[in-house]
Structure 1
Amino acid sequence: MSEYQYYEFQALDRPLSHEEQQELRALSTRARITATSFTNTYNWGDLSGDPRRMVERYFDAHLYVTNWGTHRLMLRLPKQTLNLPTAQPYCLDHRIDAWTTRTHLLLDLTSDDEDGEWAEGADDSLAALIGVRDELATGDLRPLYLAWLSALTAWELEDDAEEEHQAALEPPVPPGLAELTAPQQALTDFLRVDADLLTVAAQASPSAPKQPPRPTKKDLAPLIAALPEKEKDALLLRLALGPATRLRTDLLHRLHGTATPTTVPGRRSAAQLLDAAHSLRTERRQRAEHERATAHAKQLTALAHEAKSTWQQIEAHIATKKTRAYDQAVTLLTELRDAYGHTGHDTDFHQRLTRLREDHQRRPGLIHRLDRHNLR
């Protein structure tokens, strides 16, 4: 399989200037560059620019997917919507990172799985994920906690980390982990969050608060009237220069105040979460195995009750003297052997099998197949 790397960058809060697009063109002659995006697929070579620096300077979101198992999502948010002290508790190892520039906070979320399944084509992935950026900007920290769970799963696989697991506490737990939004579910899939670990984590997560009703004209009019004249002029100027994608969100933040993230303190250690997820996974597998065994036992009992007609089918297959029919006869005999054994009639089966072998001893193709499947 050839190498595959997919890079996508999106500018959401403001379009790229012509000069900025030219600067990006210097990084790649093949990339598709517009006023709001940079996309390219590499089957050999690599992007010459540093994605972190590109997001710091030009873009608000970046997605990176490879066929060796790397999934990476980077987001840039204005500092006033999410601050570094809030994000830092969710950083873990090199897989979840947060830092700031003069104006923005940046998040770098990575999942690596060399053994995971992969299908080429990531063109629609960022569109499904981008909603978590607005969620973070409005105080919903579930995306950060989901990223932490993803990093914790990878950390679990590292050697000699048990003592660190015991010492490390989970970050603040946001509400609503048991009822994720569509973008959050897409993030869960993209970062390969373990389902059992998420189930365990959600046990300490309160229900998500109900969304406040959409503000009406009557609600907003007095708030807008109270804004300073200078601030109104700045907002109108942004609108006139457009497109200003976040203008509505920023204005509502200004009118109502930035939402304070609602969380409960993290009290469980990483080891407790991982152990609880392992127990849940083991219990589920045991239930599944029990259900499969019960279903198989019912099938064997039913087959034993229909043994007479099954022996007739076997004889009919053998009578055709065809290779494929011999294989079908052997399959039925194997199933009958298990059915007789399940009902405690092994002796009856072997007596009948002995007669069958004697009756057809001059058919070497059949006898060879019986011997190969230990039907003696």
Structure 2
Amino acid sequence: MSEYQYYEFLAVDRPLDDRQLAEVRSLSTRARITPTSFVNEYHWGNFRGDPNRMMERFYDAHLYLANWGTQRIMLRLPRGLLDIDIARDYCVGDQVIAWTTNEYLVLDLTSEDEAGDFDPDAVAPMSAIVGVRAELAAGDLRPLYLAWLAGYSAREAGEYAVDHDAEDLEPPVPPGLATLTAAQHALADFLRVDDDLLAIATQTSAPLAETTDVPGELAAWVQDLPVAEKDRLLLRIADDHAAGQAEQQARRAKARALAREKRIDELARDEEAAWSRIDAMIATRKPDQYDAAAALLTDLQALADRDGRRDTFTQRSQALRHTHARKPRLLERLDRAGV
């Protein structure tokens, strides 16, 4: 199979009317279209429609598959059910995107894996995943966190690019990660969430039962507290927050180490291909590609250290420096990376 693409759209809250059906039918003569669904498969050519536009105007959910490794799920909710600022806390690059129209909030969640084997029958279907839409509408943020975790993991493990420290603040960890629903499990599988990273995140996710509260009684209790007691509790909260940040940083460091270990294991399978990628990156003469090359070289250096081949790496990296001695911006990046 040289090419395969699958498009599915679903109208959940209300079916399409006759005018809307005529519009979507004009986009494809081969699609299977009903008032609540649109399904088409392509073995050559491309879909003429714009999935983003179709989600904004007609549908509440969209699933896309391609045999080159792209898996995409889009969800649309009325704007009052999920705040855009909350959704954006969980956005990651091109993997997790959120935007609004006049009436709706749209989530776009994507996973890429060019190296994986493609089997459309092994991918979770729309019917298994779409339940997370109702969960998000009810205030359950676990689907968003799973999407963030998948995007963060993909970026850390698979992209040699500039440092993203400014974007690396972890969003709030929602309760209940240890007890995902069936739809959330299907979403995690669809987005290829790393099991090890999910297990790490689960350690700081409170059980759902511990999140219940009675706001009215709590407000009355706080109002009746003496000022000195309130000050003491505020200081305790501040201390707990600092401790929580330290724990979060430790967890993120562990996740980074795990992601790097996986990258290095992958490099060990075809080290020569990595050196070829570095040559191609440098040949572009683009600053961001210089950064990417330096990041990849640091992993190759770590691989050499692990395998006791540091001398060989040093000789090769010095030869690379000699070849590109007239590229000061590249050499600056290599110096900063310690290569």
Q: Please say if residues 123 and 190 of structure 2, whose CA atoms lie closer than 8 Å, have aligned partners that are also in contact.
A: no
Instruction: Check if 1:73 corresponds to 2:73.
Output: yes
Which amino acid is 1:91 matched to? C
SS at match of 2:89: helix
If the length of structure 1 is used for normalisation, what is the TM-score? Answer: 0.57
Distance 1:199 1:53, change over 3 A: same
Which amino acid is 2:90 matched to? Y
1:204 corresponds to: 204
Q: Please say if residues 70 and 112 of structure 2, whose CA atoms lie closer than 8 Å, have aligned partners that are also in contact.
A: yes
Give 1:274 shift: 5.2
**Radius of gyration: which is bigger?**
1
Question: Percent of counterpart pairs with the same letter?
Answer: 54
Instruction: Check if 1:7 corresponds to 2:7.
Output: yes
Question: How many Å separate the matches in 2 of 1:54 and 1:171?
Answer: 29
2:190 corresponds to: 190
2:102 corresponds to: 102
2:310 corresponds to: none
SS at match of 2:177: coil
1:370 corresponds to: none
Unaligned runs of at least 5 residues, structure 1: 213-263, 284-376
2:60 corresponds to: 60
Map Cα deviations across residues 317-340 of structure 1 (whole Å, 9 max, x no partner).
xxxxxxxxxxxxxxxxxxxxxxxx
Which amino acid is 2:74 matched to? M
Which amino acid is 2:159 matched to? E
Which amino acid is 1:105 matched to? L
Map Cα deviations across residues 129-184 of structure 1 (whole Å, 9 max, x no partner).
001000000000000000000000111122144x4248621001100111111100
Which amino acid is 2:160 matched to? D
Which amino acid is 2:32 matched to? R
2:254 corresponds to: 276
Instruction: Check if 1:158 corresponds to 2:159.
Output: yes
Distance 1:150 1:124, change over 3 A: closer
Q: Please say if residues 7 and 41 of structure 2, whose CA atoms lie closer than 8 Å, have aligned partners that are also in contact.
A: yes
SS at match of 1:140: coil
2:271 corresponds to: none
Question: How many Å separate the matches in 2 of 1:5 and 1:57?
Answer: 22
Q: Give the aligned length.
A: 232
1:224 corresponds to: none
2:34 corresponds to: 34
SS at match of 1:198: helix
1:347 corresponds to: none
Question: How many Å separate the matches in 1 of 2:37 and 2:247?
Answer: 41
Give 1:19 shift: 1.2
Question: How many Å separate the matches in 2 of 1:169 and 1:278?
Answer: 13
Give 1:85 shift: 1.2
Map Cα deviations across residues 172-205 of structure 1 (whole Å, 9 max, x no partner).
1100111111100000100000011111111111
Question: How many Å separate the matches in 1 of 2:188 and 2:112?
Answer: 14
1:320 corresponds to: none
Question: How many Å separate the matches in 2 of 1:190 and 1:50?
Answer: 22
Which amino acid is 2:27 matched to? L
Aligned-pair Cα RMSD in Å: 2.8
SS at match of 1:75: strand
1:25 corresponds to: 25
SS at match of 2:159: coil
Question: How many Å separate the matches in 1 of 2:209 and 2:5?
Answer: 39
Map Cα deviations across residues 89-135 of structure 1 (whole Å, 9 max, x no partner).
00110111101111111000000000112213479610000010000
Q: Please say if residues 197 and 274 of structure 1, whose CA atoms lie closer than 8 Å, have aligned partners that are also in contact.
A: no
2:179 corresponds to: 179
1:84 corresponds to: 84
SS at match of 2:164: helix
SS at match of 1:9: strand
Question: How many Å separate the matches in 1 of 2:51 and 2:191?
Answer: 18
Instruction: Check if 1:50 corresponds to 2:56.
Output: no
2:227 corresponds to: none
Which amino acid is 1:276 matched to? K
Question: How many Å separate the matches in 1 of 2:246 and 2:73?
Answer: 27
Map Cα deviations across residues 25-49 of structure 1 (whole Å, 9 max, x no partner).
1100000110000000000011101
If the length of structure 2 is used for normalisation, what is the TM-score? Answer: 0.63
Question: How many Å separate the matches in 2 of 1:69 and 1:159?
Answer: 19
Which amino acid is 2:70 matched to? T
Q: Please say if residues 5 and 66 of structure 2, whose CA atoms lie closer than 8 Å, have aligned partners that are also in contact.
A: yes
Question: How many Å separate the matches in 2 of 1:124 and 1:196?
Answer: 20
Question: How many Å separate the matches in 1 of 2:38 and 2:120?
Answer: 19
Question: How many Å separate the matches in 2 of 1:181 and 1:148?
Answer: 17
Give 1:2 shift: 2.2
Distance 1:210 1:25, change over 3 A: farther
1:112 corresponds to: 112
Question: How many Å separate the matches in 2 of 1:282 and 1:151?
Answer: 15
Distance 1:27 1:160, change over 3 A: closer
Q: Please say if residues 128 and 183 of structure 2, whose CA atoms lie closer than 8 Å, have aligned partners that are also in contact.
A: yes
Matches of residues 185-264 of structure 1 in structure 2 within 5 Å?
185-209=185-209
Unaligned runs of at least 5 residues, structure 2: 213-240, 262-339
Q: Please say if residues 175 and 205 of structure 1, whose CA atoms lie closer than 8 Å, have aligned partners that are also in contact.
A: yes
- Would you tell me which structure has more helix in proportion to its own residues? 2
2:139 corresponds to: 139
